[in-house]
Amino acid sequence: MKQIITLCCSTLFALTCWAQAGTIKGHIHDRLEQEGFYGVNVTLIGQNKTVLTDFNGDFILEDIPAGSYDLQFSFLGFPDTTLKAIQVAPDTVIDLQIDYPPPCRYDSNGSTCPVCQKSDQVIPIVFGYPGKKLMKYANKGKVMLGGCMVSYCDPNWYCKRDQTRF
């Protein structure tokens, strides 16, 4: 009889512990390519849990103890993004829809300077290794050289009047 009571208590305890966990699932949408983002690292900070998004941009983190957590998204060449204070309740599923990477401060809608609102002194910024022809354009002030390291968040335009990259 003592063994049956112990077994029942152990089973009840196990079920209670199991019901205390929640799930975070989601979809990461590539803001630049307009499709699911494959291969993003999704890390539940403080729980030592990391998954990669699948080919559709979906991920799932299961068996998360109830509490408040930060969720970090990272991908080589893009800035890390962290969602803070996600509340995980027992026996619940949180469904997140995320646009990644975050908007860039250089996102612009054309070649109009954000300072003077004019386009007559605006030239394109060109990234990468410059050849002879590109160097001639740069020396004449028709383009600005931006460097060889290129990220998704580099400025596209330069206003010679205001000396502003945007």
The 3-state DSSP class for residue 137 equals helix
Q: Which CATH architecture has domain 2-100?
A: Sandwich (2.60)
The CA R_g of the chain, rounded to the nearest whole Å, is 25
d(CA 57, CA 98): 10
Supply the pTM of this predicted model.
Answer: 0.62
At 105-126, the pLDDT tens digits run 776 667 899 899 999 999 999 9
Q: Does 86 have pLDDT greater than 90? A: yes
Query: Which uninterrupted H or E stretch holds 18?
Result: helix 2-18
Tokens for 11, please give them.
Answer: 């089973």
Query: Tokens 């998004």, residue?
Result: 53
- Calculate the average pLDDT of the chain: 86
Q: Does 11 have pLDDT greater than 60? A: no
d(CA 128, CA 146): 7
Domains of the chain, residue spans: 2-100, 104-166
